[in-house]
Structures are given as structure tokens and as C-alpha cells.
Amino acid sequence: MEFQTFNFHPAISASIKEAGYVTPTPIQKDAIPTVLLGRDVMGLAQTGTGKTAAFALPILQRLMGGARGRVRALVVAPTRELAEQIHESFGTLGRQTGLKSVTVYGGVNVNPQIQKLKNGVEIVVACPGRLLDHIAQGTIDLSHLEVLVLDEADQMFDMGFLPDIRRILKQIPAKRQTLLFSATMPPDINKLASDILTDPVTVKVGNTAPPVTVSHAIYPVEQHLKTPLLLELLQHTDTESVLVFTRTKHRAKRLGEQLEKAGYKAASLQGNLSQNRRQAALDGFRDGTYQILVATDIAARGIDVSQISHVVNYDIPDTPEAYVHRIGRTGRAAKTGDAFTMVSSEDTVMVRTIEKKLGAPLERRTVDNFDYSIQAPKKDAEFARPPREQRPPRKQTDAKKGAVGSINPFKAEHPGSKPSGRPQTARPGAPAGHAAKVIFNSSRRGK
């Protein structure tokens, strides 16, 4: 199937071609005809599946007819970065249409937004808080709205935006087309969907499993050795651009600095940065100025850098859904990518939960030429573990009872082992918890 099947307006088809899209992704195949028919859609898809174009293209098609200069499509997204990306996609795919979009989010001067809204736009991509400000100030007119998109609804829920969303819903025409996209379906989103969607068509991609193009591995390591192990991995792995996740802003900042000190072109992206610096970090990562970006979950939400070759979970995420989101940053749009997750003994439960979600054990790897026996220096204790309140709640588990062999396998299986030579390939079929050895696959990155 090719894009011609959808019979888009020639101005849109030309931009699709320019963007280099040839074949629609599965979510595009399912969603585009449905959205073109004017139906409400519940889209279960994570970032990286092509979902932005899945709603942007049929919206552009709709907007080609009808009045110009009034807000007819509104996309609400959880973060400024995601809003910018969606706006850019509208810009790319609608380049020849004459349709205009504007982003509306907080943390930046409101006046340029007011001016652009005044000048007349057809598409608004907004974060909830600033949008409500504009509504309250009367600087946006949503009375002509025809299409509403709620993107990454589960993340908006996680970030506490649901009351804001409900407030926004009260301010827009009830007669409209509504598209709701979410990577997961927690009960509150299910409830929201049943409240706001009329006879929706559900489109679902891959049961929200991580992209199949990603190869996953976990690296058991003690907290204080995570940075040296990361440096070792970076040194021996052919990486294009690496997105590293930490659990806290502090850890993101500090790791970014450590990587810089080690000679890498690295930046950190975390909520304490001003919008300008966040944008500079993101732009620098996109254009290759930075090879490594260290980020927290919220800061990295929706980041679309198509050429990300590796995602490294310096800290394991708190939920399997977050794992899927993070991993969705690599292997985007059918490209291949690697996902490395560092785990220490306290991560036992989460590793099992993630494996359950993936339906398969994650391959354990150790790095042969790495000394796992180095003791934690006392002064590093602060960075050695996340602050207690930021660790996920721990259940009474086998780990607590002392059965941690499966989680700290290098201890059990490499007692005092000396590093030797290059890492070797993991033993096929190694059971969960088995410390296998690995060759860093440097020839497979075919992007």
C-alpha cells in the first residue's frame, strides 16, 4: 500500500513525498481512512509508530476545504517538546498547503503567541495550562473548532493534566471530531475516552509492545559502577546518538557533566532548565552537536530523533509502560536500535514486571573487560543510589529474603573474575538472570 491510495490533495501528496514517506506505517494505514471519514478515533500507539502523521495528514486534508484564518484543529499534548514536534510535522506535511499552525505552551513569552493567533491560524498545538490561560484571557477563539486531538493522553494523566483537559473540553464546540491517542489505557483514560468519544473506531498498533526493531539487553551492575560501565559501553559500541534516561533531574545533570568531562559531546535535558536551554539541548541532539542526551522521563517525552541508535536506561523506569515509552525512542519508524538497561539489586521486581509485559526474558549481559569488583568510594555515596523518596516502593520480595542471585548475577557467576579480551555473544537461550557475555554489535546499525 502506498500513500496515493488515500487520495490526498496534491499539495499534501507533494509534501509526503518530500518528507520521504513511501509506505504508510500500520497506524497510518488504519487511522488515516477512519479520520478522513470524520469518525472519532481511539488510537493505541506509542511514539515512534508514525502516529503524528496518522492524524496530521487527514486533518490537513480536511482543512484544505473550508474557511481559513480561524482555529479549526486543536492538538493538546503533555510537553512543550512534543508540542513543538507536532507543530513541525504539520509544518513539514502542510508546507505547500498555506495552512498555518502555532504552538501554545508556558515558560515562554505569551505575546508572540497572541500575535500569531491574532494573525489567523487554522491549527493550534498546545499544552493544557497555557491554552487555558489564552481561553481565560480571550486571546484564542475556539468557537470554530472542528477537530480535537488529545495526544499522549496517558502521559497527560500522569502529569496531572486531566482536570485541565476537562476544563478545555467545556470550552470547545461539542460537535466536533475527537481523536485520542495513548500508549497505554489506564482506567482514567478509558473513562475519559468513553466520555468524549462518539462511536469511536479503535486503532491499535502492536498491542503497545516496544518496536520489534529494538534489541533489548540488561546489564546488572552496582549503583556506583553505572557511570564507569556506561563509559565502557560507549567506548566499545558503535553509537550514532544515544539517549540516556535517569530517574531524577539531579542525576541527569550530573551524568551529563560526567560524560562531558569524559570527552563526549553530551547535554542533559531536565525540568530545571529554562525553555531556551531545553530547546538548545534538543536541537543540539537533533543536529548531531551532541551525541548523547541525558534526560528524565518527563523531559524526554515524545522526543523524536529518528536516528537515535541507542537508548540507555541508566536507571530502570518505574513502570513497564515507561520502559516501552523510553524504548520507543529508538528503532523509530522501522529503524533498528539497541536498548540497554542497567539494573542493580533493588530493581529485581521491576525487571520481572517488564519481562512479563514484553512476554520474554531480557537478555542479561556483562562486559568482559570491565572490573565489577571495584568498591564504592565513600564520597560517592550520594550519587550511588537515588534518594529514598525517589525510589519506587519496594514490595516484600524474594530479593528482600536474600534470593537475589538472579538479579546480581555477575556476583554469583563471575566470582572475582578478571576481565579478559573482547566481550562475547550472549549464550542463546540463557535463562532469565543468567549473566551472559556479549559482543558489542557494531556492524548491525544499518541506518
Residues of this chain that interact with ligand AMP (CB under 6 A) are 21, 23-25, 28, 47-53, 304, 306, 332-333
Nearest to ligand AMP of 42, 140 (CB atom) = 42
| C-alpha cell read off for 379 | 564520597
- Name the burial class of residue 182, with classes exposed (0-12), middle (13-18) and buried (19+) by CB atoms within 10 angstroms of its CB: buried
Q: Are 303 and 245 in contact (CB under 8 A)?
A: no
Residues 344 and 223: their CA atoms lie apart, in Å, by 6
Residues 206 and 27: their CA atoms lie apart, in Å, by 9
Residues 6 and 32: their CA atoms lie apart, in Å, by 8
DSSP lists the bridge partners of residue 339 as 216, 311
Nearest to ligand AMP of 284, 386 (CB atom) = 284
Residues 242 and 218: their CA atoms lie apart, in Å, by 16
Smallest gap from Cβ 32 to ligand AMP, in A, equals 10
Residues 343 and 323: their CA atoms lie apart, in Å, by 13
Smallest gap from Cβ 205 to ligand AMP, in A, equals 9
Q: Are 150 and 86 in contact (CB under 8 A)?
A: no
Smallest gap from Cβ 413 to ligand AMP, in A, equals 39
- The count of C-alpha atoms lying within 13 angstroms of the C-alpha of 86, restricted to the half-sphere facing its C-beta, is 35
Smallest gap from Cβ 23 to ligand AMP, in A, equals 6
Nearest to ligand AMP of 297, 363 (CB atom) = 297
Smallest gap from Cβ 444 to ligand AMP, in A, equals 20
Q: Are 307 and 294 in contact (CB under 8 A)?
A: no
Nearest to ligand AMP of 47, 223 (CB atom) = 47
| C-alpha cell read off for 317 | 523506569
Dmax over CA atoms of the chain, in Å, equals: 73
Nearest to ligand AMP of 28, 313 (CB atom) = 28
Nearest to ligand AMP of 84, 304 (CB atom) = 304
- In 287-446, which residue ranges form alpha helices assigned H by DSSP? 297-300, 320-327, 348-358, 381-384, 398-401, 409-413
What one-character-per-residue DSSP string does 302-328 give? Answer: T---TT--EEEESS--SSHHHHHHHHT
Smallest gap from Cβ 318 to ligand AMP, in A, equals 23
Smallest gap from Cβ 184 to ligand AMP, in A, equals 15
Nearest to ligand AMP of 53, 243 (CB atom) = 53
Nearest to ligand AMP of 28, 79 (CB atom) = 28
Smallest gap from Cβ 447 to ligand AMP, in A, equals 12
